[in-house]
Amino acid sequence: MIIAKTIGEARAVVHRWKAEARTIGLCPTMGYLHEGHLSLMQASIRDNDRTVATVFVNPLQFGPAEDLAKYPRDFERDCRMLEAEGVDMVFAPDASEMYAEDFCTFVDMTMVSEGLCGRSRPVMFRGVCTVLTKLINIVYPNRMYMGKKDAQQLAVVRRMVRDLNFNLEVVGCPTVREEDGLAKSSRNIYLDPAQRKAAGVLSRSLRAAQEAIAAGQTESAEVIRLLRSKLEEEPMSDIDYVEAVDGLSMQPVERLKDGDLVAVAIRIGQTRLIDNFLVGDPLIDVLRS
């Protein structure tokens, strides 16, 4: 596996692959990898001749009060996991390689990025769109792989690719979960054992909402009320948002139809956790307590 730390090194490899007419899959990550990330790599390896993973904790997408400094990192472990998976190149630049001191160009979006996570993390999607634009311009992928766990991020990136005519396909990959249903996340490491147990409320509540919809409930307000009451059963959970939105525009809907997104963010202690389902998705697998 090639480890590229500079844009020049990554570009030289990509140039060679393009000359050989290889297709390239790109899997952007912030590292501290888990099986959720690895599922993106597996999908990319299946679909493309070459797979590039990026490991970059992007300072642009963290607000001043967020966890940039303490975001978990273990690059050597990440490399071992990526190599075992069969990834061809990892691109892991320093922040200074990506952002010159006088960097001043951003990719910004209205509407799709403004609600849900965009409301509580106002700089996040500008940071995501900007860094992905740079990574796409460095790697020239045929396909880019992103997790459905970050459903709004996926919708934002799909919209950016469409609006700005990026010549690639965005592939959404299913959420990989722990045994009790909690979506795998690098941030789960922040949870102490009691908080980790409490975090199970997120997927259990979403599963209850899925069951209500499967039983015929189509009123968003009712589904949101049910979700809120389930989440409030766990005293350690502090709700950030519970929303039902159109799956493409991220605008609130009153009546639910297939493809709409039901999304939740909560805080447990200092840790913010998100999860979601699309109406029509299979039921989330949760362990019954």
Where does this chain bind ligand AMP (CB under 6 A)? 29-30, 36-37, 39-40, 146-147, 149-150, 173, 175-176, 183-186
CA atoms of 104 and 180, how far apart (whole Å): 44
Q: Which residue has the tokens 């460095």?
A: 138
- Kindly report the backbone phi and psi dihedral angles of residue 3, in degrees, each rounded to the nearest multiple of 5, phi listed first: -110, 110
Q: For Cα atoms 209, 151, 114, give the angle at the middle one, nearest 5 degrees.
A: 105
Residue 279: CB minimum distance to ligand AMP, A:
19
Q: Which is nearer to ligand AMP, 224 or 274 (CB)?
A: 274
Question: Does residue 249 sit in helix, strand or coil?
Answer: coil
Residue 128: CB minimum distance to ligand AMP, A:
8
CA atoms of 164 and 11, how far apart (whole Å): 22
Which of 37, 134, 148, 230 is the catalytic position? 37
Q: How is residue 66 written in tokens? A: 């967020």
Q: Which is nearer to ligand AMP, 37 or 230 (CB)?
A: 37
| Among candidate residues 73, 90, 118, the one with its CA nearest the CA of residue 245 | 118
Q: Which is nearer to ligand AMP, 40 or 156 (CB)?
A: 40
Q: Which DSSP state fits 251?
A: -
Residue 100: CB minimum distance to ligand AMP, A:
23
Active site residue 34: no
Residue 15: CB minimum distance to ligand AMP, A:
26
Q: Which is nearer to ligand AMP, 94 or 233 (CB)?
A: 94
Residues catalogued as catalytic = 37
